[in-house]
Every structure is written in structure tokens, then in C-alpha cells.
Structure 1
């Protein structure tokens, strides 16, 4: 199936993925402004970012209930709340206010994220097509566009009071395109079944490791190039840029690969690329070699998370799908918040080269997890 037909088939969740990408691309590009505005040092700013994880923790319980209660409106209404929440950083002038805003953003973003992944999984189950990679690719595209647009607005002299409301309006504009009919699943008939804990743990572990690896490279690749390899500021900035570009390319390519291989087959192959890439980056003698390593890692790591979520949705009973994906997603999202801090500790103790080598060791753990996942009962 072509990328265009995949986008058309899942156009409602695609719009939601773009909404989330627009939100966080803007926040990432505005980080220097926000940090200076609230007067936080590096360590304090890092701790404040954990507020997103606090807000996200509520998603574990809210998302399945929200999805069941709101039905077809769950996704567009969640995105509407995200659009208004995306405007709030415009008034973040103190640390407590910034912390509270991040809690709200974490909660509504996580709510939208869980439901949109559940919608993709439902369309996959209904059509028999693999769609998760192309949807996650559109997140990467929207993230990059939002970051570039934010940078251009900053260069033009606009401040947070203009940039964040504009981003919120762009997010709100995607909401009308997100309504889709969902298959109702009656939770009151038949025996009450427990969630498949083993499936949640295995798929959650795969997604967690993938997101941890992605977060460490996003946060530390520029420093590795500038400090370890004596690169300049522009050379350092190209490290995470290379990762982002190759992740978008990998997810679009993964759409075609996933149509021919199973989720587990894609995960194992992609893990091999990611391990090789991070080892090349760790041992790189020049920035150019490091770019090649980060690019190869981006190609591999890009599809592991989406495929782990797709596997969880496919192996779940229809009425449990949102709850399973919520738990798998929450486990995975933890990697984004804790991995950069752990990477910093490793760099302090061992140096950045060995810290990146440890990322490769963590990625190796995906292989045994994938074989355990193969032993789980498959839903017809």
C-alpha cells in the first residue's frame, strides 16, 4: 500500500498526530526563551520538565474511560483541549506557573496520544493494513515544521505571547478532521477479562527501550559532537537534526516494509540498524562519521516504537485495545523523561563515548523481548 493511500485510510488519526507534533515542536524550539523567562538554571529546568510526566500519569486511567464515554468525539475533543493548552505557555512567567502548565500539557497530550494510537490500531484491525509507521512519520514531519516555523517567528522578533497562541490555533484547526466512526464494544456482556499483563509488559518494554534510545540521542548528540569531537555549534546542531530527518524517512519507509514483514520481524531488523548506528556514533573520530551513525540509528529506532504499539493493539481484544495501548504508551513515554537524566549520569561517570555504547547494550534487550512476545497468544 502506498504512503498516500495509507494517509487517506487513516486521515483522522493522522491529523491528531500532526496536532501533537505541532505542539511539542513549538515547545522544543521555544525552550531557550521559556528557560530564560522563568529564570531557571539547567538543573532546575530539567526538574521542571518532569511535570509533563506527572500530567501524563493521569492518562493511564483517564484515556480508556474518555474513549469509551466520548466515542467518535474522543479524538477531536481531546485535540481541542490540546489546542487551548498549547496556548498556555504564553503566560508562563514564573516557575510554579510553568510547572502547572506542563502538567496540563502532559495530561491532555497524553490523552490525545493514547486515543489516536488506539484509532490507528482499530483501523489496522478493520482493514488488515499496517498504518502505525506512516502516522508516527507525520508526527515527525509536523514536529519539524513547527520547530522551523517557531524559529522563523523568533527571528522575526515575535515573542511567546504571539507564537504559542498561533500554534494553538493551528492545533485547533486539525480537530474537525479527526472525527471517525468507532466500533462500539459492549463492556457489559460476557465475563470480565483481565488485561493481558504479559503483553503489556513485553510491548511496553520494547517501546520503552526505543523511546529511551531516541531521547538520549536527541538530548546528547549535539554535546557529543561539540565536546567529544570538537565540532562547532552548527556541526553540533546537525546531530539531532540528522536523527529527526532519518526518523521521518525511516517511518515512511517502514510503512512499505511493514506490509511485507510482521511487526516482530520489523522490530528485530530495525534494532540491528539502531545498535550498529549508535556504536558508530560512539566510536566516531569525526563529526561526519557521527552523523552517519546517528542517521543509521534514526532509520532503525524510528519504527520500533510504532511497531511495538501496533503489536499491542493487534494482539488485544477489541474492547481492551485502548486500555492496553494506554499502558504500553505510558511505559514507553517514561523513557523520554528519565533517559536523558540517566545519560547525563553515565556521561559524568564514564564519558559520552561509553555512555552511548551503553545505549547499544540497552537496545540489545529488545531482541529477547521480541522472542517472548512471539510466544503470546495471537488474537484471531
Structure 2
């Protein structure tokens, strides 16, 4: 199935993925400026980013309830909440205010993420086709566009508050296109309890993938600017390269996942991501770092989506949204715990050492994949 056909079949959640990607790409490129604004060192800034993790952990437990309550409007409402939340980090200037702003962004991001992934999983079940990589590719492509455009905006001295306000206006114009009914389930014999073994294994896969992705998104611009002496636009190319190659990897993974098993794809992708991370660690100039970030992006790109796709396929339909939300709790806690850990490692040993820790983290995927194979994944 071609990428275009996959996106055509799932165009409504794909738009939600793109909106989320634009916001986080823009945020990643603004990180050096936002960090300077709140007057935080690496370790403190990493702690402040835990506000996002707290928001995610909170929202993902009630996201299935909100989804059932709002029905076809749930994706639209979550996108509006996202637009409002991201106005906050663009205007706050104190550490406390930034923490609360990131908590709000985590709430809205988590709600959007659970709902849009559940809709894609519904469509996969209905069509019998693999769609998750194509949709996550939409996120990555939009992330790259957001990061690159924000880098140019920073060079032109555009302030974060103004840019996030423009994005909010765009969401407002598109919100009616995000209406989509959740899949109807009438299977009353479905067991009430989740298969937690599957959820935890898949969640751990997503956790590591998103921790690695988040490390690059949040710290790549600072690594290029501070460690390698690049300017603002050069720094923005770090997350831009990640986003572009993740988009390529996910769109390519759409075809690969139809020919190879999910676990085989994860194994090969892990080794590619580790190789890219090593390049980032040893890079003497920004150009080599870009190559490393790009190679990381190609590898990491398919791991998280396949983890979410696996749990969606391995649990009963009636439990799909709940299972995805619980898996996402594990995964997205890592997405925002990683910047905190990176901050502490960087504070003590530098960003090269912090990225070396990411390579070791990625290697933990190997035993998880073999455990999933034993469960028939």
C-alpha cells in the first residue's frame, strides 16, 4: 500500500499528527531562546521540562473517558486545547511559569496523541492495512517544517509568543476537519482487564524510542550552537534534520512494514539509530552532527509507531483506546523525562556524554524485541 493511499485513507488523524508535529518542531527550535528567557542552567531547564511529563501522565489516564464523552469532536477539541496551551511557553519568563506552561502543553499533547493514535488503530483494524508509520511520518515532516521555519523566524527576531499565536489561528481554521467518529464496538464478551504484559513490553519499546527522539529534539540545537559553535539557524538544522529523516523513515517504513515483521524492522532500525548517535557523539563540526542526527532519525522513526501498532493489534478492539493510552503513558513519560536526564548528564559531563548515554539506551531495545517475539508479536 502506497504512502499516499495510506494518508488518503487516514487523512483526518494525519492532520492531527501534522498539527502536533508543527508545534513541537517550533518548540524545539525555540529551546535555546526559551532557556535563556527563564534564566535556567541545563539541569534546571531539564527539570522544568518535567512539567510536560506530569501533564502527559495526568491526561493519558482520563483520555479514553474524554474520547468517549466527546465522540466525533474529541480530536478537534484536543487540537484547540493544544493551540491554547502553546501560547503559554511563548510568553512566560519565570521558571515556575515555564513549568506550569509545559504542564498545560503536556495535558493537551497527551490528549491529542492518544485520540489520534486510537483513530489510526481503528482504521487499521477496519481496513486490514498498516497505517501507523504513514501517520507518524506526517508528524515528523511537520516537525521538520516547524523547526526549520522557526529557525528562520529566530534569525528575523520573531518572538515565540507571536509565532505560537499564528499557529493557533491556523488550528482554528482547520478544526472542523478533525471531526471523526470512533469505531463502534459491540463485543460485550471482551474481558474487562488489560493484558498488561503486552502493554508493558510495547510501552517500553515506545518509551526508549521516544526518549531517544526527545533527546535530539530538545538538545540538538543547543549541541550545535554551544558544543560545535553554530549560529541560531545552524542550531535549528539539528531538529530539522531529525524531523526530515524521521519523515523519510516513517514513510519508507510504511512499505517495509508490509513486507517484514514488526520486530525485524525494530531490530534493524535500532542498529541504525545507534550508529547515528555515535556520529553525533564524535562530531567535530555541525555537518557531521547533522549526518548523525539524520541517521538517528531514520532509525528511531519506525520504532515508536510500531510499538503502538503492535499493542493496537494484540489487544481486543473494545480495549484498544485504553491500551494505547496506557502504552502512551509509558512512552511519552520517556519523551519528556529524557530532556531532564540529558540536562543532568550535560551539566556534569557535557552534551557529548549525554548523547553517548542515548546510544546505550537504544541498545536496551534488543532484549525487548526478543521478549515480544516470544509472545507471538
Taking structure 1 as the reference length, the TM-score comes to 0.88
1:326 and 2:358 aligned? no
From the superposition, tell whether residues 154 and 350 of structure 1 become closer, same or farther in structure 2 (CA, over 3 Å). closer
From the superposition, tell whether residues 224 and 75 of structure 1 become closer, same or farther in structure 2 (CA, over 3 Å). closer
Report the equivalent of 1:256: 255
Deviation of 1:316 (Å): 1.4
Deviation of 1:155 (Å): 4.8
> Do the aligned residues in 2 keep the contact of 1:59 with 1:326 (CA within 8 Å)?
no
Report the equivalent of 1:311: 310
Whole-angstrom CA distance in 1 between matches of 2:87 and 2:10? 27
Q: Specify every segment of 5 or more residues in structure 1 that has no aligned partner in the other structure, as ranges.
A: none
From the superposition, tell whether residues 160 and 367 of structure 1 become closer, same or farther in structure 2 (CA, over 3 Å). closer
Whole-angstrom CA distance in 2 between matches of 1:99 and 1:349? 22
> Do the aligned residues in 1 keep the contact of 2:206 with 2:308 (CA within 8 Å)?
yes
From the superposition, tell whether residues 121 and 238 of structure 1 become closer, same or farther in structure 2 (CA, over 3 Å). same
Report the equivalent of 1:142: 142
Report the equivalent of 1:86: 86
Q: Is the radius of gyration larger for structure 1 or structure 2?
A: 1
Report the equivalent of 2:296: 297
> Do the aligned residues in 2 keep the contact of 1:21 with 1:140 (CA within 8 Å)?
yes
Q: Specify every segment of 5 or more residues in structure 2 that has no aligned partner in the other structure, as ranges.
A: none
1:117 and 2:117 aligned? yes
Whole-angstrom CA distance in 1 between matches of 2:186 and 2:180? 18
1:145-191 Cα shifts (integer Å, max 9, x gaps): 2334444445555444532221111122332112223222248x336
1:106 and 2:106 aligned? yes
> Do the aligned residues in 1 keep the contact of 2:148 with 2:240 (CA within 8 Å)?
no
> Over aligned residue pairs, what C-alpha RMSD do you find?
2.8
> Do the aligned residues in 2 keep the contact of 1:79 with 1:112 (CA within 8 Å)?
yes
Report the equivalent of 1:74: 74
1:45 and 2:23 aligned? no
Report the equivalent of 1:242: 241
- Equivalences, count: 376
Helix, strand or coil: the match of 2:301?
Answer: helix
Report the equivalent of 2:62: 62
Deviation of 1:231 (Å): 5.2
Taking structure 2 as the reference length, the TM-score comes to 0.88
Deviation of 1:202 (Å): 0.5
From the superposition, tell whether residues 308 and 280 of structure 1 become closer, same or farther in structure 2 (CA, over 3 Å). same
Structure with the larger RCO, 1 or 2 (CA within 8 Å, 6+ apart): 2
From the superposition, tell whether residues 108 and 206 of structure 1 become closer, same or farther in structure 2 (CA, over 3 Å). same
